[in-house]
Structure 1
Amino acid sequence: MKTEFVLLIIVIFSRNCFGKKTRWCTVSEPEQRKCAELAKALVTVLPPAAVSAFARLSCIRAYSTADCINKIRANRADAVTLNAGEVYTAVKQFGLTAVAKEIYSDGGCVLAVAVVKNSSLDVRSLQGRRSCHAGARWTAGWSLPLGFLLSRNYLPWAEEQPLTQAVSDFFSASCVPGAAATAPNLCTLCQGQKSYIRQRNFHCETSHNEPFYNSLGALRCLKTGKGDVAFVDHIALDSIEDLEKEDYRLLCTDGSRAYLSEFRRCNLGRGPGGGVVTRFNYRKVARKFLLAAQMAFGRRGRDRQRFQLFESGSYGSSDLLFRDATEKLAVLPDDKDISQVLGLDYVALLKGLGHEGSSLEDSVIRWCCISNAEQRKCEDWALSIKSDPLVCVRASSMSNCIEKIKANEVDAVSLDATHAFIAGKCGLVPVVAEYYGETCIPAEGGTKGAAHFESDVFPPVYAVAVVRRSSRSVLFGNMAGRRSCHGHMYSPAGWLMPARHNLSSQHNSSNNCDPSKVYSEVFWKGCLPGLQGDLCKVCIGGNVEPGTKRCADNHNERYYGNLGAIRCLVGDPSGKSYGDVAFLEHHNLDDNIQSLGPSGWAEGWLPLDFELLCQDGRRAPLSQWESCHLGAIPPNVVMTRPVLTARVYDFLMKSQETLAVHPEEFNLFESHQYGESDLLFKDATQCLVHTSHLDYRTILGEEFYRTVEAVFNCTQSDILEFCAQDVCTIF
C-alpha cells in the first residue's frame, strides 16, 4: 500500500510541476508555525519527485486575508484559504481563481445563526443593539444575516447610502473584522492591537491577532459582554462548552428563540463554506499540492500521525490554514464558474449586497415576461409609472423566469401557486400576493385608498372542469379517449388538481401520482402547453410570432392559460382542433367566453353554452363554481431574491398608487386589450397585498403545500433539479 501511495504521488506531480514551489499565505504567528510544520512534514513523507516540486514550501506572512489576496495577485504568494464571501471578492474583483472547497462533516455549506445570551432579544428587535460579526463580507457573519434583515425590511437601506453605513446606523456598536479600511465605525467593539505601522496594526483585521476575528472570535465578543448578538456559522456552536450552552439562545426568523442544538430549523440561511484561491496560471500546481497534502495529512491521510492538516489546537489557536471542521477538500475542475462553485443564490445575494459595486441594475426593476403580449403590457406599465425604472425581460415560461431570477438576469415575477412552491424550493421569497376579494384592506396605519394593503385571508380561485353543453356524454369517470385542454404545465387548475379526481373508471389515477402521466394514459390527445407527445397534438401554436412552436409554455401558444383553454374547447377559428373538456380557473370565465366573438376567434358562443362537471357526476351552470369545482387554489405570489424584497415591494406599491389615479390610462389587472388574459397578473386581482413577512408555505396553506409536495416527490421536474444543484446539504 505504501508503494501504491508513492506511485500515486509521483503521478500527481509528473506533469509540469518540477522546479515549482508553493508559497502559502498566513495571517498570524500560530498559522505561520503550522505552515512551517507542514513544510517539514512534506519533505519527510513525499517521494523525491514530489520533493523536488514542493520541498521548498514557504510560508508568507501577511497582516490580513485582504493582504494575502494582494500578495497572490502580485506573485508574492501563491495560495490561501478564504471564507466564501472573500473567495467571491478575490475572483470577481481581483482576478484570482478558486481551486478547492472545504467540505465539512455535516455537508458542504454552513448555516448562519444569530446567537444571544439568554435574554428577551428577538430578531425583530436588533436595532440599536451591539453586534459581533465573524468578518466583513463573510457568509454567516455578514451576507446571510444582512440579506435576511433586508428581506424582512428590518434593516433600512436607502439607495444612495453604502450598506456599511446602513449597518452602522442600525447597530449602536459593532465589530466587523475587515471593515477597518472602508467603514471604521463598524470596528468600535474590536480588540486587536492598534498601530500606525501597517504590519503591526491588527485592530479590526481579518487575522487571528484580532481577538474577535472569525466565528469563534464573534462568539468571544458575545461571551465577554462586548456585544449583544453574534452572527456566526453553526459549526462554531460546537466550541461552546456543554455547561455553558444553556446560557445562549438562537434567534429564529419567525421572532422566536431556540436552543443551540436547534440550528437546523432556527437559522438565517445557508451558504457555501471556505475555499482555496490562487492565480489562474498557478491553478494546476495548487491543485496537485492540495491533493498531495490531503492524501498524506487529511482525515484519512497515510501520514496523519506525523501531521494533521485539519487540526490547529496544538498551535494554541483554531482554524489555521484550513477550518478545523473540514472533512476533506473538494478540488475543483477548470470549467467551474464562480456561480457554480458558490451557488447561484449566494452569488445573487452578494451582488444584491453590492459586493461588485453599484451598477445600472441597482436602480431598475427587471420584470419577467413570457410572451409578446406580456412584453407589450409590461412596456406600457413602464411608460405609465413614475417610480423606479422598469425593464421588461423575456423568458420562455414561468419556470424559465425562476431560473433567470436565481441567475440574477431578472428580478421579479408573479407566479401561480404551483410555481410559487417551486420558487420557494429554489430559494426565492414572496413580496406580495394577488388579492381576489371584493374589498382591499388598507395596511395598519395607512389611509383609505392608499396603495399599501394587507390581509390575513387570501380569497382563493377554484379549479373547474368545463365542457360544451352539447357534449352530454362527457362526465367524470368516462373521459378515457377524450381530448383535453389544460391551462399550462404545472398550473394548479390545469395540471395539478384534475389528476386528483376520477377522470376515467378504466384508469386508476391513484396508481400514478405524476399528473402528466395520468393525462397521457386517460386522454387520446390534448393540449398541455409545456409538455410533449400526444398532449400537444391539439395545440395550435401562435400567429403572433414567427417560428412560435406549438405547445409552447407561454401565451404565444394560443391555447395557453385560462383563455387558451376556452379557445381549445371551442376549437380554432375554423372550428377544428378542439378538446372535449377544459381544466382551468373559475375567475373571469364569463368574460373570457364573451371575448371569443369580439376578438374574432369564434362567433356566437355564450356562457350558457358551457357547463361545469362536478365531482359527484352532476353538471352545473358556470355560475355554480362554489359548489361544483375541483379544489381551491391559493393566490398568485410575486417572488424575488431575498435581498430585493424591500425594493420590489416599494416599487410595486409606488406603481399601485400611481396607476390608481388614472386607471383608464393603464390598468395593471386588465389584459383583454392585448388579446389575452392574465398577463403579468391575474385579471381577477383587486390589489397587491403585503406578504414579505410571511414565508411561501404560509401563503400557500398546509393542505395545498402538502398536495404539491407529494406530487413532486414522485414527478420528475427539470426546474426543481436545476434548483437542487444550487442548494448545499446539511445532514
Structure 2
Amino acid sequence: MRAMHGVLIVFICLDYGLGKKMRWCTVSEPEQKKCAELAKALVAVLPVAAVASFARLSCIRTYSTSDCINKIRANSADMVTLDAGEVYTAVKQFGLIAIAKEIYSDGGCILSVAVVRNSTLDVRSLQGKRSCHAGLRWTAGWSLPLGFLLSRNYLTWAKEQPLSQAISVFFNASCVPGAASIAPQLCALCQGQKSYIARRNFHCETTHSEPFYNSQGAIRCLKTGAGDVAFVDHTALWSIKESESDEYQLLCSDGTRAPLSDYRSCNLGRGPGQGVVTRFSVRKIARKFVAAAQVAFGRRGRDRQRFQLFDSSMFGGADLLFKDVTEKLVILEDDRDISQVLGLDYVALLKGLGHEGSSLEDSVVRWCCISNAEQRKCEHWALNIKSDPLVCVRAASMSDCVEKIKRDEVDAASLDATHAFIAGKCGLVPVVTEYYGKTCVTFEGGAEEAAHSEPKVFPSLAGVAVVKRSTRSVFFGNFGGRRSCHGHMYSPAGWLLPFRNPLSLEHNNTSPCNPNQAYNEVFWKGCLPGSHGNLCKVCMGGTGEAATKRCADNHNERYYGNLGALRCLVGDTSRKSYGDVAFLEQHNLESNILSLSSSGWADGWQSWDFELLCGDGRREPLSEWESCNLGAIPPNIIMTRPVLTSRIYDFLIKSQETLASNPETDFSLFQSHQYGESDLLFKDATRCLIHTSHLNYRNILGEEFYRLAEKVFNCTRAGILEFCNQDVCSIF
C-alpha cells in the first residue's frame, strides 16, 4: 500500500507539473505558522525523488490583505484567499484573477447576519449605535448589510458624499478593519496595535493582528462590549459556544429578532464566499498547486492525518489561509467572468456601493423601453423633468428589461404583475407601485414620510375576454379551432388568467398549469407576442421606423398589448388578419375602442359593438366587467436592484412633482395615445405612484395571484427564470 501511495503522489506531481515555488501571502503570525506547516507537510508526503520537481511552498508575511494584493501584483507573492468583496477589488482594480472558490456545507455562499446581545434593538433602530464589521467592503460585514439599509431607506447616502462618510454619521462609532487609509473615522472601536511603521501598524487593518478583524473579530468586538451590533457571515455563529448562544440574537429584516439558529430565515442577504486570487501569468500553475494541496490535505485528502487544510485550531487562530468551515475548493477556469464567479446581483450591489469609484452612471437613471413608441415617450419625459438625467435604454421585451436590470445595463422599469413576480424571483425589489384609485394624494418629504401614505389595499384591474357582438357562436368552452388575441407573453390578462377557464370542452383538463400548451392545443392560430408557431400566425409585425418581425414581444408588433389585442380582434384594414376572441385588461378598453377610428386603424367601431365573455358561458356588455371577468390583476410595480431603491424613488417623486407643478406641459407620465399606443412606460390608468420599497413584492401582488403565478411557472418553461436561477451559490 505504501508503494502504491508513493506512486499516486508521483502521478499527482507529474500530472500537475508542479515545478515552480509558490508563494502564499499571510497576514498574521498564526497564519504564517499554518502556512509553514503546510509547506513542511507538502515536502513530507512526497517521495524524495519528486521533491526537486515539486513546487515548494514559501510563506510571505504581510501586514494586511491590501498589502498582499500589492505584493502579488509586484511579483513578490503569488496567492492569497480573500473575502469576495476583496476578490472583486483585486480582479477589477488590480488585474488579478480568481482561480478557486470556497464551498461550504450548504453551497458557495454566506449569509450576512446582524448579531446583538439580547436587547431592545431592531434593524430599524441602528442609527446612533456602535457597529462591528468584519472588514471594509467585505460581503457579510459591509456590502450586504449596507445594501439592505440603503434599500429600506434606513440609511441616507447623498450622492456627493463618500459612502464611508454616510456610515460614520449613521453609526455612533465603528470598527471597520481596512478603513484606516480611506476613512479613519470608522476605526474608533478597533484595538490593533498602532505604529508609524506600516508593517508594525495593525490598528484597523485587515490582519488577524487586529483583534476585531474578520467575522470572528467582529463577534469578539460585540462580546467585549465595544459594539452594539456585529455584522458577520453566518459561519461565524458556529464559533459561539452553545452555553453562550442564549446571550445573543439576530436582527431580522422585518424588524423582529430571532435566535442564532434561525440565520437561514433571519438575515440581511446572501452573497458569495471567499476565493483565491493570483496573477494572470501564474494562474495555471497556481490552480494545479491548489488542486494538489486539496487532494493531499482537504476534507477527504489522502494525507489529512498529516495536515488539515481547513482547520486552524492548532495554530491559535481561526480561518487561517481558508475558512475553517470550508468543505472543498472549486477550481475556476479562465472562461469564468467575475460576474459568474461572484454573481450578477452581488456585482451590481458592489457597483451600486461605489466599489469601482464614482462615474457618470452614479447620477444617471437608465429607464428600460421596449419599443420605438416607448423610446419617444421616455425621451419626452427626459426633456420635461428637473431631476437627475434620464437615459432611455432599449430592450426587446419586459423579460429583457428584467434581465438588463439584473445585469446592471438599465436601472428600472414598470412591470406588469406577472413580470413583477418574475423580477422578484430574480432578486429585484419594488420602488413604487402604480395606483389606480379614483383619487391620489401625493406626499412630500421623501420615502420615510411616504412610507405611511400607501393604501392598505391597492386597487386592482381586471382581465376580460372580449368578442365582437356579431359573432354569437363564440363563448367559453367553444374556443376549439378559433383564433385568439393575447396581449403578450406572460401578461396577466392575455396569458396567465384565461387558461383557468374552460377554453374548449375537448381540451378541458389536458394542460392544468401550462398556458402555452393549453392555447396551442385549443386555438387554431392566434397572436401571442413573444410566442412562436401557430400563436404567431395572426400577428402582423411593425411598419415604418417600428418595422419588426412578426410576433415581437413589444409595441413594435401592432397586435401587442391591450390596444394590440383589440386591433387583432377587429383585424387590419385588409380584414385578413384578425381573431375571434381577445384577452386583455378592462381599464382602457373603451378609450382604445375610440382610438381605433382616431388613429385611422378601423372606422365605425363603438363600445356596443363588443361584448364580454363570462366564465359561466354568459355574454355581457362591456360595462359589466366587474361581474364578468377573468380575475383581478394586481398593479404594475416599478422595480430595480436593491441598492438603487432610494435613488429611483427620489427620481420618480421629483418627476411626479415637476410634472404636477407644470400643468401646461403637453407631457403626461400616464397618457400614451399621443404616441399611437397605450400603456407606454406606465399603465394609462395610473393616477400616481405610491411608495412601496418597504414592502415585499409578494405582499403587493397578493397571495392569490402569487400562488397562481408560482404554480404556473413551476410547470412552464421561462427562459428569464432559467437565467435568474443560475445561482452562483449552488452552480459549482
Q: Distance in 2 between matches of 1:52 and 1:717?
A: 55
CA contact (8 A) 2:148 2:642 kept: yes
TM-score (structure 2 length as normaliser): 0.97
| Contact in 2 for aligned 1:174/1:187 (Cα 8 Å) | yes
Counterpart of 1:455 in structure 2 is 455
> Any conservation in 2 of the 1:345–1:726 contact (CA below 8 Å)?
no
Structure 1 residue 4 displacement after superposition: 7.2
Deviations 1:382-425 (A, max 9, x none): 00001110000000011111111111110000000110011011
Q: Which residue of 2 aligns with 1:690?
A: 691
Map Cα deviations across residues 419-468 of structure 1 (whole Å, 9 max, x no partner): 00110111110000000001113449799xx9996322210000110001
User: For the residues of structure 1 that align with 2:54 and 2:134, how far apart are their CA atoms?
Assistant: 33
CA distance in 1, matches of 2:82, 2:715: 40
Q: Equivalents in 1 of 2:284, 2:93: separation in Å?
A: 21
Return 44-53 or 144-153, whichever deviates more: 44-53
Paired with 1:620 and 1:234, the residues of 2 have a C-alpha distance of 58
Question: In the TM superposition, what whole-angstrom CA distance separates every residue of 1:20-70 from its partner, at most 9, and x where no partner exists?
Answer: 110000000010011011111111223568633445310000001011000
CA-to-aligned-CA distance 1:190-211 (integer Å, 9 cap, x gap): 1111111111111111111111
- Please give the residue correspondences for 1:271-282 in structure 2 after superposition, counting only pairs within 5 Å: 271-282=271-282
Take 2:526 and 2:285, find their aligned partners in 1: how far apart are those partners? 58
Letter in 1 for 2:726: Q
Q: Distance in 1 between matches of 2:590 and 2:699?
A: 31
The residue number in structure 2 matching 1:635 is 635
**Letter aligned with residue 393 of structure 1:** V
- Where does residue 724 of structure 2 map in the other structure? 723
Instruction: Specify whether residues 178 and 527 from structure 1 end up closer, same or farther in structure 2 by C-alpha distance, changes over 3 A only.
Output: same
Amino acid aligned to 1:194: K
Q: What whole-Å deviation, never above 9, does each CA across 1:287-315 have from its counterpart, x for those lacking one?
A: 00011000000001111000000000010
Find the aligned partners of 1:5 and 1:684 in 2 and give their Cα distance. 75
Contact 2:442-2:688 at 8 Å conserved across structures: no
Return closer, same or farther for 1:53/1:132 CA change in 2, 3 Å cut-off: farther
2:149 maps to a residue whose letter is L
The Cα shift of 1:241 comes to 1.1
Cα distance, 1:120–1:511 mapped onto 2, change above 3 Å: same
Partner of 2:670: 669
Report the counterpart of residue 140 of structure 1 in structure 2. Answer: 140
Using the alignment, how far apart are the partners of 2:639 and 2:5 within structure 1?
A: 52
Secondary structure of the residue that 1:464 maps to in structure 2? strand
Counterpart Cα distance in 2 of 1:729 and 1:114: 24
The whole-number CA distance in structure 2 between the counterparts of 1:13 and 1:625 is 76
Provide the rounded CA distance (Å) in 2 between the counterparts of 1:130 and 1:83.
23
CA distance in 2, matches of 1:633, 1:541: 27
SS of equivalent to 1:326: coil
* Structure 1 residue identity aligned to 2:670: F
Q: Structure 2: any 5+ residue segments left out of the alignment?
A: none
Which is worse superposed, 16-25 or 89-98?
Answer: 16-25
Contact 2:131 2:230 in 1 (8 A): yes
Quote the residue 2:557 is aligned against: 557
Q: Are residues 634 and 385 of structure 1, via their aligned partners in 2, closer, same or farther at CA, if it must alter by over 3 Å? A: same
Instruction: State the partner residue of 2:158.
Output: 158
Which residue is 2:432 aligned to? 432
Aligned to 1:220: 220
The Cα shift of 1:574 comes to 1.4
Q: Distance in 1 between matches of 2:211 and 2:510?
A: 61
- Flag structure 1 segments of 5+ consecutive residues without an equivalent: none
Match of 1:605, SS?
Answer: coil
Cα distance 1:567–1:6, how it changes in 2: closer, same or farther (>3 A)? Answer: farther
User: In structure 1, how many angstroms separate the alpha carbons of the residues matched to 2:50 and 2:482?
Assistant: 72
Task: Report the Cα distance in structure 2 between the residues aligned to 1:646 and 1:24, rounded to whole angstroms.
Answer: 42
Cα distance in 2 between the residues matched to 1:550 and 1:57: 63
Tell me: CA distance 1:222–1:188, structure 2 relative to 1, closer, same or farther (3 Å).
Answer: same
> Which residue in the other structure is 2:493 paired with?
493
1:43-82 pair list within 5 angstroms: 43-47=43-47, 51-82=51-82
CA deviation vs aligned residue, 1:86-119 (integer Å, no higher than 9, x gap)? 0000000000000000000111100101111111
SS of corresponding position for 1:374: helix
Per mean C-alpha deviation after superposition, the further-off stretch among 244-253 and 457-466 is: 244-253
Whole-Å Cα distance in 2 between the matches of residues 373 and 446 of structure 1? 31
Instruction: Indicate the SS of the match to 1:242.
Output: coil
Residues 112 and 139, structure 2, Cα contact 8 Å, conserved in 1 = yes
- Structure 2: how far apart are the matches of 1:580 and 1:689? 38
1:617-632 map, 5 Å: 617-632=617-632
Is the 8 Å Cα contact of residues 546 and 556 (structure 2) preserved in structure 1? no
Same amino acid, percent of matched pairs? 76
Question: How far apart, CA to CA, are the structure 2 residues paired with 1:455 and 1:729?
Answer: 39
| SS class of match (2:632) | strand
3-state DSSP of counterpart to 1:597: helix
Q: Post-superposition shift, 1:487? A: 0.4
Task: Report the AA paired with residue 669 of structure 1.
Answer: F
Taking a change above 3 Å as real, the CA distance of residues 155 and 528 of structure 1, as seen in their structure-2 partners, is same
Hey, what does 2:283 align to over in structure 1?
283
After TM superposition, list the pairs within 5 Å mapping 1:379-390 onto structure 2: 379-390=379-390
Answer yes or no: is the 8 Å Cα contact 1:122–1:257 preserved in 2: yes
Deviation at 1:715, TM superposition (A): 1.0
- Give me the whole-angstrom Cα distance separating, in 2, the residues matched to 1:536 and 1:222: 62
- Counterpart Cα distance in 2 of 1:513 and 1:3: 61
Specify whether residues 158 and 58 from structure 1 end up closer, same or farther in structure 2 by C-alpha distance, changes over 3 A only. same
Determine whether 1:507 maps to 2:507: yes
Distance 2:288 2:731 in 1: 28
Structure 1 residues 658-716: Cα deviation after superposition (integer angstroms, max 9, x where no partner)? 01123442100000010100000000000000000101111111111111011111111
In structure 2, relative to structure 1, the CA distance for the partners of 1:108 and 1:185 (3 Å cut) is same
Structure 1 residues 444 and 246: alpha-carbon distance in aligned structure 2, compared to 1, 3 A threshold = farther
Structure 1: distance between partners of 2:104 and 2:130: 30
Check the 8 A contact 1:443/1:454 in 2, yes or no: no
1:177 counterpart residue number: 177
In structure 2, what is the equivalent of residue 25 of structure 1? 25
Q: Which amino acid aligns with 1:107?
A: G
Aligned counterparts, 1:257-406, within 5 A = 257-406=257-406
Name the SS for the 2:244 alignment partner.
helix
Tell me, in whole angstroms, the C-alpha distance in 1 between the residues paired with 2:576 and 2:294: 68
CA distance, structure 1, for counterparts of residue 451 and residue 312 of structure 2: 57
Q: Is the 8 A contact 2:510 2:518 kept in 1?
A: no
CA distance in 1, matches of 2:427, 2:227: 31
Indicate how the Cα distance of structure 1 residues 451 and 258 shifts in structure 2: closer, same or farther if over 3 A, else same.
Answer: closer
Aligned to 2:123: 123
C-alpha distance in 1, partners of 2:347/2:468?
A: 51
- Mapped to 2, the partners of 1:2 and 1:323 lie a distance apart of 31
Tell me the alpha carbon deviations over residues 454-484 of structure 1, each in whole angstroms, 9 at most, x when there is no partner.
3222100001100010111111111111100
Call closer, same or farther: CA 1:244–1:729 in 2, change over 3 Å.
Answer: farther
Shift of residue 279, structure 1, vs aligned partner: 0.1
Instruction: Assess, with a 3 A threshold, how the Cα gap between structure 1 residues 43 and 367 changes in structure 2: closer, same or farther.
Output: same
Residue 510 of structure 1, CA deviation: 5.8
RMSD value over aligned CA atoms? Answer: 2.0
Once residues 53 and 583 of structure 1 are traced to their aligned partners in structure 2, the CA distance between those partners, rounded to angstroms, is 73
The residue type equivalent to 1:176 in the other structure is V
Counterpart Cα distance in 2 of 1:431 and 1:494? 25
Aligned to 1:533: 533
Residues 256-287 of structure 1 show CA distances to partners (whole Å, capped at 9, x for unaligned) of 11111111111111000000000001100110
Output the CA distance in 2 between the equivalents of 1:536 and 1:11. 59
Partner of 1:203 in structure 2?
A: 203
CA contact (8 A) 2:340 2:728 kept: no
TM-score (norm 1): 0.97
> Match for residue 650 of structure 2?
650
Judge conservation of contact 1:24–1:57 (CA < 8 Å) in 2: yes
Separation (CA, whole Å) in 2 of partners of 1:9 and 1:638: 58
Q: Describe the SS at the equivalent of 1:283.
A: helix
